[in-house]
Structure 1
């Protein structure tokens, strides 16, 4: 009888745990809201697919609701909304979402810091930038998930640019740091909501944009309201990221964190070949935008000024000096490596 009572007690104790299992599986999924910097047409290529794949593979355990540029909050307020937990995750660059960090100035288009899109993952995965970004964002309650590259930064304008003189007085939609640099050449940076840019180009409020390469000019509709594309770029790739509110990130089970990272890396990879192909094929096969070029001898002025700009940024803080040093060492290595890493 003693043995039987022990068996029944043990069996009874195990019943609640057995019955509780379905309840755990039936719990409501973790729900996140993410906002991207991209408008609807562009988001199809830069983020939509990876979010859809994440939601499918998560099998009801977690769901990310994706919102496009300015749908929940203006792009310039993305960081504050993320930090407060108003939204859970963001796809953006540091610069345009006004992150209050030491690394913000390097996000988006750091002038002449990059030649090709592969420079971004190389710098983050092999030259220490990923660790720096994670440390800096953790200080302000944000998880830096991963960095990736986007398109280069070229001018698309209504009038042709064939010399640096043609830049003077142009009202241009661009990023904060890019605008700060371009103002040295007489460019007037203009800040607008992303969705208002096309109309501003039509009404004459803007003379052009320095926000993307030619792929986005066509994808976003800007090739319909501009006439010329300057082949010289002020950066060979945009540095963008996926971010999450740190508290929300810490609440997510490890396997879903890993799934997020894998899906976001898939997005980074897709952009690598989508932009690489688009930047070449659209120049060759489409005719809405006429290409112009500033001669290399004159463009060298911009290259030289960029390095002065780097030194000014480095003087602002010890950490900025460290990052500028990484950019310098990386570019020196690429130049010494020669073709195909650098052609000049």
Structure 2
């Protein structure tokens, strides 16, 4: 992080609580009309600048254009205003207005937060995520869970890329995971620690340097598209083709008071822009993963044999049982995941291998 950005963050945190509270009572209290100041939101994404150019910026740019001066969303990238782990509370307080992230990384105080990000082997492909939310009932469960939380509204979930390892040393056996220090997500790290992986928590922007200095052996945070996009392919050497999840589950959230202050037509516009963002990621990641595996020149592909990787898949079954035991609602989610994956298996190709 540059010094100028640090200063911006400090100054923001000193003043935003008071300034935003005042704005919430005035500017945001009524729909914008001709001659009136526009509604202004601060939205922070989990993604750094290079990644944000794809995972959210096009949709926010579109929103600001079509909102025609009635509302303006200011987009901030990872840790720019608030550390990622503090995003939920900052949004709840009104320090920021909205968030794009997974539930797991922002420490959302709901039982289902463990399913955000990479829940081991819950998905095989990115299309699994919208189907699970829109046809299998996850949307209703997320709305129920966040409906119990004061002043935060969950808005929408979508799919990102699969979870692979990018490392400085080759992974060709499960034994190679022993002692491997990786940057990953909380629940994914908890699961991978069963195979000797050592999860390391760092600010997103520090990851590349941590690999260069030897603090990290690699990353289990993305697919190969992000490795190339954000620069991690420049500091690692190998990409493991096995993954623990076919798609990251991320969501949009908003401060409830700020959301309720937005007129209905702008709410609908924001919903359309979220869907546009979800669609963009579907093709950007899908095409990128294949293209870079085949033609990417920076990372050598490695694979752990199927019979060994089967042990990881079998361990996920036990892990799911443990998560289901945490709460009745978690048990409902796990039941849906089991039903869905069983349906996909019985459907056969192209849904799942025969």
TM-score of Structure 1 vs Structure 2, range by shorter chain: over 0.9
Aligned residue in 2 for 1:42: 51
**After superposition, where does 1:143-154 map in structure 2 within 5 Å?**
143-154=153-164
RMSD: 0.9
Contact 1:113–1:327 (8 Å) recurs in 2: yes
CA drift of 1:177 comes to 0.1
Unpaired segments ≥5 residues, structure 1: 1-22
Q: 2:70 is matched with which residue: 61, 68, 71?
A: 61
Aligned residue in 2 for 1:70: 79
Q: 2:301 is matched with which residue: 269, 291, 307?
A: 291
**After superposition, where does 1:1-344 map in structure 2 within 5 Å?**
24-140=33-149, 141-343=151-353
Give distance in 1, aligned partners of 2:63 and 2:39.
Answer: 13
Cα displacement string for residues 315-335 of structure 1 (whole angstroms, at most 9, x for unaligned residues):
111110010000000000000
Give distance in 1, aligned partners of 2:282 and 2:210.
Answer: 30
CA drift of 1:152 comes to 0.2
Match of 1:87, SS state, is coil
TM-score, with structure 1 as normaliser: 0.93
Deviation >4 Å, runs of 4+:
none
Unpaired segments ≥5 residues, structure 2: 1-31
Q: 1:24 to 1:212 in 2, by over 3 A?
A: closer
Cα displacement string for residues 63-96 of structure 1 (whole angstroms, at most 9, x for unaligned residues):
0000000000000001010111110000000001
Match of 1:173, SS state, is strand
Contact 1:73–1:81 (8 Å) recurs in 2: yes
CA drift of 1:203 comes to 0.0
Cα displacement string for residues 9-38 of structure 1 (whole angstroms, at most 9, x for unaligned residues):
xxxxxxxxxxxxxx9421111000000000
Match of 2:243, SS state, is strand
Say which one has the larger Rg: 1
Give distance in 1, aligned partners of 2:214 and 2:266.
Answer: 47
Cα displacement string for residues 263-303 of structure 1 (whole angstroms, at most 9, x for unaligned residues):
11000000000000000000100111000001111111000
Contact 2:33–2:70 (8 Å) recurs in 1: no
TM-score, with structure 2 as normaliser: 0.90
Cα displacement string for residues 116-141 of structure 1 (whole angstroms, at most 9, x for unaligned residues):
00000000000111111112112212
Give distance in 1, aligned partners of 2:322 and 2:274.
Answer: 34
Contact 1:138–1:246 (8 Å) recurs in 2: no
Contact 1:92–1:241 (8 Å) recurs in 2: yes
Contact 1:160–1:292 (8 Å) recurs in 2: yes
